[in-house]
Structure formats: structure tokens, C-alpha cells
């Protein structure tokens, strides 16, 4: 499935992309996929170590959230 959209890009970038590829849409899609992949990697790298400064482990935090959710669920069904 694909979406048709309109974008504005500088002429020199468009012309170079057209010279390098017969399918401009595919070129843009590949470029966006690569951009998104890089951004996900950057986000993952910057998130490493953020849990180190917490007093509780991630397991303890998740268990606490689950317990709170189950309490709210039980209160709703009274």
C-alpha cells in the first residue's frame, strides 16, 4: 500500500535523484526508510543508560504499574 503525496524539494536534489534513478518515488521511499532507520538507532543509543539512575529496576516499575492498573480495573467493576 502506498500514499500519494506532494513535497517541495530543491531543484538540484530532484535533478540529481532523477539522474540516478528511473523511479523517483522508489528513490524517495528508500531515502525515507534509511532516514527513519537512522533516527530509530539514534533514539535507542540516547536512551541507553537512562534507567541506571533509578532506584527501582524496570521489572519493579512495570509490576507496580500493572498492580495500579488492576486496582483501577477492579474499582471500575464495582
- The predicted pLDDT at position 75 comes to 65
Nearest CA to 18 among 36, 35, 10? 10
> Which DSSP category does 57 fall into?
-
pLDDT of residue 51: 64
| Grid cell of 36 as nine digits | 527513519
46: left (phi over 0), alpha (psi -120 to 50) or beta: alpha
Locus of grid cell 513535497: 7
Instruction: Say what the pLDDT of residue 63 is.
Output: 87
Beta-carbon count within 10 A of 22 CB: 7
Task: Give yes or no for a contact between 61 and 54, defined as CB atoms under 8 angstroms apart.
Answer: yes
State pLDDT tens for residues 5-43: 999 999 999 999 999 999 999 999 999 999 999 999 999
Supply the mean pLDDT for the chain. Answer: 86
| Domain boundaries defined on the chain | 8-47, 49-78
| Predicted local distance difference test score (pLDDT) of residue 40 | 94
Amino acid at each position: 500500500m502506498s500514499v500519494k503525496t506532494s513535497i517541495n524539494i530543491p531543484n538540484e536534489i530532484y535533478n540529481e535523484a532523477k539522474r540516478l534513478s528511473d523511479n523517483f518515488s522508489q528513490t524517495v521511499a528508500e531515502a525515507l526508510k534509511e532516514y527513519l532507520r537512522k533516527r530509530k538507532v539514534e533514539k535507542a543509543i540516547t536512551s541507553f543508560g537512562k534507567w541506571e539512575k533509578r532506584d527501582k529496576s524496570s521489572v519493579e516499575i512495570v509490576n507496580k504499574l500493572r498492580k495500579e492498573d488492576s486496582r483501577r480495573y477492579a474499582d471500575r467493576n464495582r
